Amino acid sequence: MNEQVRTPSDAMSHDQLLDRLAEVTVRVGLGLRQGQEVVITAPLDAVAFVRRITEHAYKAGASLVTTLFSDEEATLMRYRHGHDESFDTAPAWLFDGMAAAFKNGAARLAVVGEDPSLLAKEDPDKVSRANRARSKAYMPALSLIADSVINWTLVGAATPAWARTVFPNDPEDVAVAKLWKAIFAASRADTPDPIAAWEKHNAALHARRDMLNAKNYATLHFTGPGTDLRVGLADGHQWAGGSNKAKNSIIFNANIPTEEVFTTPHKDRVDGYVTSTKPLSYNGTLIQDIQVKFEGGRIVEAKARTGEAVLGKVLDTDEGARRLGEVALVPFSSPISKSGLLFFNTLFDENASSHIALGQAYSKCVRGGGDMSEEELASRGANKSLIHIDWMIGSDKVDVDGITQDGRAEPLMRGGEWVTS
C-alpha cells in the first residue's frame, strides 16, 4: 500500500468511522427490518461500538436490542478454578432462548474481537470438551442461522487483546488504533459512501456466483506448494456470495467484511493433499502449517506445526468433522489480502484467501436444500457435523481449475487471481 495516498479515513475521526461501521452493520449486514428485535453478542471491550450499533438499530426501527456481553477473564477463571464437570456444561437454556427469539423473528448480530490465543495454554482436552458441549447446546439456535431462517451478520471490533496479537511491537493504544483502521478499510466503512460501495461490491460477488452456477463444475482442482487437492462438489450444488435473502425475505450480508464465493463440496469426493497458507486461530489456539490428506472425502492423515493436539481433537468431534462442508474462492488481490496483515481471526483471514471448511455444510448451497430433509441433503453430498471451521489454502502460488461434468479442466484461478474477469 502506498502510504502517501490520502484516503477518506484520514479526514474522518475515529468516532465518525465507528459510526459508519455501525451503520454498515445495521443496514448492510443485518438489513434490519422495521419492528425487528436484535440479539447481539459481543466482548466487553466492544461496548462503545455496540452502543453505536444499538443507536443505529433503534433509528432503523428495531423494537428491542438485547446484548449479551462476554468477559474473557471470566472464561479463564473457569479453566483455573472450574471443577472437571464444568467442561461438559453449556448454557442450553440461553441458546434455547436465543432460538426462541429467532423463531419469533429476531435478527442476530455477533461482534467478534476475541483474544486469538486466550486458551492457547489451557488443556486441549478441556478446551475441546467445552467447545463440544457448547456446540451441541448451540445447535438449535445455530441451525436457524446456518439455514438463513433469519437475517444475521458478523462484524469485527478492535479489542486490546486482539490488537496486541496483530501488532505485537506497538504500544496497546497504537495497536488498537491500527486494528480499527484495518477493520474500517476491510469493511469499506472508510469509503466516501460505504452503503454505495457495498452495493457495488455485492453486484461483483453476485456476477462471480452466477458465472460459477452456470458452469456447474463437477470438481475444483487446487494445486500449489504442498497442495494437490480435488474437491468434488455436491450434486446440485449452488454457489453463494455477497448479500442473500433469508427465509424471512430480508436481504442481508452474513459477514462484514466478505470477499468470498462459496459452495458445498461432496462429503465423499475429496481426494489428495492440502497445506494451509495462513495460521488458523481456533478458539484461542493457533494452528499453523496444517497438512492433511483426504481419501474418499475423509481426512486420513493430519499434522500441524503448532496446535496439532487441538487439531486432532477437532477432527475427532464427530464423523463429519473429518470431511468438508464448504469450499470458497477468494482472489489474492482482495483488500484484506493486500493489507498484508494476519488478523488471527477467521472472519478476516478467510476473506484474504481461498479456503475450505471442516464440518457442517450450508443447506442453502444445495439447490432446494432449504426444504430438504437431512437424509436428502446427505444424499446430495452435504456434510453434517457439530463444527464448521474455515481454514485458508489459497495464496499467490495456488492455481485452481474447474473440472466440467464431462471431465475437461478449465483454468479458474492462476497465481491466486481469477482468470476470467
Residues near Zn ion (CB under 5 A), total: 6
User: Which of the stretches 78-86, 356-364, 393-401, 402-410 binds Zn ion when contact is defined by CB under 5 A?
Assistant: 356-364
Residue 255: all three cell numbers together: 459477514
Work out how close the CB of 325 gets to Zn ion at its nearest, in angstroms, rounded to a whole number. 8
Work out how close the CB of 189 gets to Zn ion at its nearest, in angstroms, rounded to a whole number. 21
**Residue type for position 378:** A
Q: Which of 30, 154, 328, 352 binds Zn ion (CB under 5 A)?
A: 328
- Give buried/exposed letters for 315-354 (b at 16+ CB in 10 A, else e): bebbebbbbbbbbbbbbbebbbbebebbbbbbbbbbbbbb
- 165 vs 383, beta carbon nearer Zn ion: 383
What CA–CA distance (Å, rounded) separates 189 from 11?
13
User: Which of the stretches 72-80, 98-106, 113-121, 319-327 binds Zn ion when contact is defined by CB under 5 A?
Assistant: 319-327
Say whether residue 324 binds Zn ion (CB under 5 A). no
User: Which of the stretches 22-30, 86-94, 172-180, 355-363 binds Zn ion when contact is defined by CB under 5 A?
Assistant: 355-363
Percent of the chain as helix, strand, coil, to the nearest 5 = 40, 25, 35
**Residue type for position 410:** E
Distances (CA, A) of 341 to 178, 186, 345, 349: 11, 11, 11, 9
Task: Say if residues 40 and 50 touch (Cβ distance below 8 Å).
Answer: yes
- Give buried/exposed letters for 189-202 (b at 16+ CB in 10 A, else e): bbbeebeebbeebb
Work out how close the CB of 146 gets to Zn ion at its nearest, in angstroms, rounded to a whole number. 10
Query: How many residues make up the chain in this entry?
Result: 421
Q: Which of 122, 326, 349, 401 binds Zn ion (CB under 5 A)?
A: 326
Work out how close the CB of 336 gets to Zn ion at its nearest, in angstroms, rounded to a whole number. 13
Displacement of CA 89 from its chain's centroid (Å): 25
Say whether residue 390 binds Zn ion (CB under 5 A). yes
Residue for cell digits 464427530?
Answer: 318
- 19 vs 390, beta carbon nearer Zn ion: 390
User: Which of the stretches 68-76, 141-149, 316-324, 386-394 binds Zn ion when contact is defined by CB under 5 A?
Assistant: 386-394
What CA–CA distance (Å, rounded) separates 23 from 52?
8
Say whether residue 357 binds Zn ion (CB under 5 A). yes
What CA–CA distance (Å, rounded) separates 228 from 249?
40
Say whether residue 311 binds Zn ion (CB under 5 A). no
- 87 vs 391, beta carbon nearer Zn ion: 391
What CA–CA distance (Å, rounded) separates 384 from 22?
34
Residue 106: all three cell numbers together: 429476531
- 280 vs 328, beta carbon nearer Zn ion: 328
Displacement of CA 325 from its chain's centroid (Å): 13
Residue for cell digits 488478523?
Answer: 343
Say whether residue 32 binds Zn ion (CB under 5 A). no
Work out how close the CB of 38 gets to Zn ion at its nearest, in angstroms, rounded to a whole number. 23
User: Which of the stretches 157-165, 217-225, 240-248, 320-328 binds Zn ion when contact is defined by CB under 5 A?
Assistant: 320-328
Binding mask 238-277 for Zn ion (x = CB under 5 A): ----------------------x-x---------------
User: Which of the stretches 121-129, 175-183, 187-195, 388-396 binds Zn ion when contact is defined by CB under 5 A?
Assistant: 388-396
- 326 vs 349, beta carbon nearer Zn ion: 326
- 114 vs 390, beta carbon nearer Zn ion: 390
Work out how close the CB of 62 gets to Zn ion at its nearest, in angstroms, rounded to a whole number. 27
Within a 13 Å sphere around the CA of 26, how many CA atoms are in the beta-carbon half?
Answer: 25
- 63 vs 143, beta carbon nearer Zn ion: 143
Tell which positions 279-308 bind Zn ion, by CB under 5 A.
none
Q: DSSP secondary structure string, 72-109? A: HHHHHHHHHH--GGGGG---HHHHHHHHHHHHTT-EEE
Point out which residues bind Zn ion (CB under 5 A): 260, 262, 326, 328, 357, 390
